[in-house]
Amino acid sequence: MPDNYDRLAWREEDRKDVYTCRVFSIHESVCRSPDEKHSSVFMVLDAADWAMVVPVLEKDGRRFFVMVRQWRHGVQDLSLEFPGGVLEADEDAHRAALRELEEETAYTAKKIAKLGEMSPNPAIMNNHIHFFLAEELSPLPSQRLDEDEYVDMELVPIEEVLEHIGEKPYIHALMGTALTLWRQNQETSHTDMGNA
């Protein structure tokens, strides 16, 4: 633990479930302040962990990201992003990443490696998102989308995504995290090759 942990950590005294739906639940967390002077109520969103995949396809001497375009209800707009989704019950993140890749893009990967793990919004959410790099891709016969999923797969040149991240249609904030982890992986890979 860092030296300032006890000086900054709140202590949960009570918890009450207030809302549940198919995608998440919400609970009230009554917490005592670090100095023990007062208690406050915080709302916490309980959700399953997610997996997001950065699929890289080599084609005709170029590298592409395999991406998905879909409607995002929160912003009422289309988003072009990396494939991903919720981990199913008792499913490990690695398997979930490969499953989401296959279902949403109709590609599978011979190589899939974890890039990192983060908290999407630690202020109000208690879940994690697991990021993976998928390489040596090969096509499958078709997508296997859920009944309520409407997703188009697109091959996008890597340089286009890097140049336009943060602009429409690259509006998903977790895309920025995935790209940062992917870039770190690329730098490490090149450094390792240089030291070989």
Q: pLDDT tens, 68-125?
A: 999 999 999 999 999 999 999 999 999 999 999 999 999 999 999 999 999 999 999 9
Contact present, 43 and 24 (Cβ < 8 Å): no
155 and 111, same structural domain?
Answer: yes
Give me the domain span that covers residue 27: 5-46
Residue 2, preceding peptide bond in cis (omega within 30° of 0):
no
92 and 24, same structural domain?
Answer: no
Number of domains making up the chain: 2
56 and 30, same structural domain?
Answer: no
pTM for this structure?
A: 0.92
123 and 112, same structural domain?
Answer: yes
151 and 165, same structural domain?
Answer: yes
In tens, the pLDDT along 121-143 reads: 999 999 999 999 999 999 999 99
How far is residue 79 CA from its own chain's centroid? 14
**Phi then psi dihedrals of residue 44, to 5 deg:** -125, 130
11 and 55, same structural domain?
Answer: no
Q: Domain with 143 in it: what CATH number?
A: 3.90.79.10
Tokens of 75: 């912003």
* Alpha helices (runs of H) in the chain, residue ranges in sequence order: 5-8, 93-105, 158-164, 173-195
Q: Measuring CA to CA, which residue among 106, 86, 178, 139 is closest to residue 97?
A: 86
